[in-house]
Amino acid sequence: MTGFFATPIEFLKGVGPAKSALLNKELHIFTYADLIQHYPFRYEDRTKFYKLSELKDGMPFVQVKGFLTFLETAGYGRKKRLIARIKDDTGELELVWFKGLQWVQKKLHPGVEYVVFGKPVAYRGSKLNMAHPELDIVAPQHDTSGCLQPVYSSTEKLKSKFLDSRAIMKLQTVLLEKAVNHIHETLPDTLMQSFKLMPKKEAMIRIHFPDNHQMLQKAQFRLKFEELFYIQLKLLQMKISRIEKYKGMVFSKTNLITEFYNKHMPFELTGAQKKVIREIYRDMRSGKQMNRLLQGDVGSGKTIVAFLCMLLAINGDAQAVMMAPTEILAIQHYNGLKPLALKMGLQMALLTGSTKTSERKVIHKMLLDGDLHILTGTHALLEDVVQFKNLGLAVIDEQHRFGVAQRSKLWQKNSNYFPHMLVMTATPIPRTLAMTLYGDLDVSVIDEMPAGRKPVKTLHRYDSARLKVFGFMKEEIRKGSQIYVVYPLIEESEKSDLKDLMDGYESICRAFPQIPVSIVHGKMKPDAKDYEMQRFVKGETKIMVATTVIEVGVDVSNATVMVIENAERFGLAQLHQLRGRVGRGADQSWCILMTDYKLSKDARIRIETMIRTTNGFDIADVDLKLRGPGDLMGTQQSGVLDLLLADLGKDAVILQTARDAAIRLLDKDPQLISSENVPIRTHIDSLKKTAVNWSRIS
């Protein structure tokens, strides 16, 4: 979309400077392109007239026809309302208005037949009525004009200036009429035919004004396909060009790995771990730069995989880093890797925001001299002063928090070669999101848990059953187990959360008088926190009362019960992550979700999902459906996920289809030079110019 579509919206007939300013401000509509892509968010079904006797409570917006039989104002003051009744040959319906009574009343005339459009509701079990319906006098053309009427999002401000959905619809009509000759096909014939796609021009018209549901569905499919196809094409092109452009260091020596296997391997690797290590090894000795995503559920054993890959790099006289999004996670990695590194006589350090300047200096020097083999840390290690002698492998534990920009910063840390990159996600992410956020990476999945782990049993208990839960906890402690009790802590309401936590701690101390209890929360000093954690890790305390700081903080295989208080306030990913803290030993573990009786619908779904499955990918899928991609991934990465039409929660099939199509197309024509792909090249150029969608991912 160029030229014509870059025209400022001000120049559209019926807009002008004042309305244009409002559209800019309220809906970010600046150009013709913006307006035409302000797609309806729903459609009103005007294809059918319902009989009055067919109406039921809870139906969506429907259209009926009837003669006005009754008109009256009732009530006084703020309760004043206008009541009307219409009648057809099957029954009656009450219509009611609470606002603008005089204006409506003027339009209504008993005995006249009206087309009425609204939502039938039975208020508190009373008779059906429609509040504030739309009304038109039945005109002869009405019987033929049945269609799906678009509904556009608008704002209160716009509505007060008469730019409501109907007005936007009129603007779309004006614009589409002018625009048809400027809409060019953006997909090649081959794709159009193999997926029976609606032509672009028709789709742009029909997404606004479909005659029926089938037509709408075809228009939506076409436009969603296009949207997802171009994102995938871009990601895959990035991947191809990187493979071609950037040589990777060749790491083929394996004696360090062999030594580790033979002398120090603490357990047998699972089949899945072996499989992903093979995939990574193949990349690292291929001579191409590796860019791989490693997915695996909590507790699936990603750390050891990362360590073995580091050995490959170190074996080739290079260094390795592991970056985590938070200090706690970085410390956890450090603590997890340190014993392994020590066994192999390797030097390792931790670098975070709170590392002292004097220590930093030592680290910087050792890195440059090549004396430090492994560095773990937070984004502090992205700073320019952190320079390596020869960085060979960067492992990023993303936990959804780093973006492409940070990834590329790590690439720059070696001036001869880009280091190999291994991106790990701490919690599984749904396939559709992985394909979009990490569509330029190869993917490895650890889909198997270490042997001997029993799946955690999950229960839901209401607060009223607390005494029973305490009884269960006592029994488990008597059998030798340790227990976590977790409270939510959400920053804005920190004070009351802290009070909940302290109250809970006191009531547990009272209920378990003989049993030593630890407490850990974010407001404590780091060394006090550490001291309490250590007491629990050593088994000196049996119960750990904590906020979510333990989500990623500790690894105690003797802990078999996780009690989560106010479980309704946690997101699914968090609940799953917390549950992953237990079930690390061979004993049966339990996760008990405590809630009040009152639960929102979403909270109920979250809790039912936790009870139904322990599979992180399953859980991530539900989470995506409940929250939508933007929320799920945090704001940093929502850019790529800001799709105009497609919905990653619902359009998984279209996404897969579009990605496959893009892969096949690039296989045949990697440079997009064939004549049949001209529409693609032209479209990419225009996307670059108008920066729609495109800039978000580059």
Q: Which of 85, 200, 218, 302 binds ligand ADP (CB under 6 A)?
A: 302
Q: Tell me if 149 contacts ligand ADP by CB under 6 A.
A: no
Q: Tell me if 537 contacts ligand ADP by CB under 6 A.
A: no
Q: Tell me if 583 contacts ligand ADP by CB under 6 A.
A: no
- Which H/E stretch holds residue 320? strand 319-323
Q: Which of 555, 587, 618, 647 binds ligand ADP (CB under 6 A)?
A: 555
Q: From the CB of 302, what's the least distance to ligand ADP, in Å?
A: 3
Q: Which of 199, 370, 450, 679 binds ligand ADP (CB under 6 A)?
A: 450
Output 248 or 299, the one with its CB closest to ligand ADP: 299
Q: Tell me if 589 contacts ligand ADP by CB under 6 A.
A: no
Q: Which of 71, 131, 269, 537 binds ligand ADP (CB under 6 A)?
A: 269
Rounded distance between C-alpha atoms, residue 22 and residue 593, angstroms: 48
Output 300 or 326, the one with its CB closest to ligand ADP: 300
Contact 68, 137 (CB under 8 A): no
Rounded distance between C-alpha atoms, residue 541 and residue 535, angstroms: 6
Output 40 or 301, the one with its CB closest to ligand ADP: 301
Q: From the CB of 397, what's the least distance to ligand ADP, in Å?
A: 8
Rounded distance between C-alpha atoms, residue 97 and residue 332, angstroms: 62
Beta strands at 559-564 and 482-486: parallel, antiparallel or unpaired? parallel
Site string for ligand ADP, 99-128 (x = CB under 6 A): ------------------------------
Q: Which of 210, 299, 488, 553 binds ligand ADP (CB under 6 A)?
A: 299
Beta strands at 113-118 and 134-137: parallel, antiparallel or unpaired? antiparallel
Output 303 or 614, the one with its CB closest to ligand ADP: 303
Q: From the CB of 591, what's the least distance to ligand ADP, in Å?
A: 16
Tell me the residue type at 503: D
Q: From the CB of 448, what's the least distance to ligand ADP, in Å?
A: 9
Q: Which of 154, 289, 303, 355 binds ligand ADP (CB under 6 A)?
A: 303
Q: Which of 300, 399, 481, 677 binds ligand ADP (CB under 6 A)?
A: 300
Stretch near ligand ADP under the rule CB under 6 A, chosen from 17-25, 269-277, 354-362, 491-499: 269-277
Neighbours of 529 (CB within 10 A): 20
Q: Print the SS3 string covering 92-154.
A: EEEEEECCCHHHHHHHCCCCCEEEEEECEEEHHHCCEEEECCEEEECCHHHHCCCCEEEECCC
Q: Tell me if 267 contacts ligand ADP by CB under 6 A.
A: yes
Q: From the CB of 296, what's the least distance to ligand ADP, in Å?
A: 5
Q: Tell me if 63 contacts ligand ADP by CB under 6 A.
A: no
Q: From the CB of 232, what's the least distance to ligand ADP, in Å?
A: 28
Q: Tell me if 605 contacts ligand ADP by CB under 6 A.
A: no
Q: Tell me if 448 contacts ligand ADP by CB under 6 A.
A: no
Residue of closest CB approach to ligand ADP: 301
Sheet holding 319-323, edge to edge: 348-351, 374-377, 319-323, 391-397, 420-425, 291-296, 442-446
Give, in order, the Cα–Cα distances in Å from 666 to each of 138, 254, 397, 618, 640: 56, 35, 30, 31, 21
Stretch near ligand ADP under the rule CB under 6 A, chosen from 302-310, 349-357, 511-519, 686-694: 302-310
The Cβ-side half-sphere exposure at 353, using a 13 Å CA radius, reads 6
Q: Tell me if 265 contacts ligand ADP by CB under 6 A.
A: no
Contact 270, 449 (CB under 8 A): yes
Rounded distance between C-alpha atoms, residue 579 and residue 598, angstroms: 23
Contact 565, 485 (CB under 8 A): yes
Output 274 or 569, the one with its CB closest to ligand ADP: 274
Q: What is the dihedral of CA 475, 478, 479, 484, to 10 degrees?
A: 70
Token pair 């509904």 is found at 151
Q: From the CB of 468, what's the least distance to ligand ADP, in Å?
A: 31
Q: Which of 9, 116, 298, 394 binds ligand ADP (CB under 6 A)?
A: 298
Output 188 or 296, the one with its CB closest to ligand ADP: 296
Tokens of 45: 């079904």
Q: Which of 7, 63, 186, 270 binds ligand ADP (CB under 6 A)?
A: 270
Output 300 or 378, the one with its CB closest to ligand ADP: 300
Non-local (6+) Cβ contacts of 52 within 8 A are 64, 66, 86, 87, 88, 90, 91, 92, 93
Residue 457 has phi, psi (to 5 degrees) of -90, 135
Token pair 């092109």 is found at 237
Q: From the CB of 149, what's the least distance to ligand ADP, in Å?
A: 51
Tokens of 691: 């920066």
Output 174 or 269, the one with its CB closest to ligand ADP: 269
Q: Tell me if 289 contacts ligand ADP by CB under 6 A.
A: no
Applying CB under 6 A, the residues found at the interface with ligand ADP are: 267-270, 273, 296, 298-304, 450, 555, 584
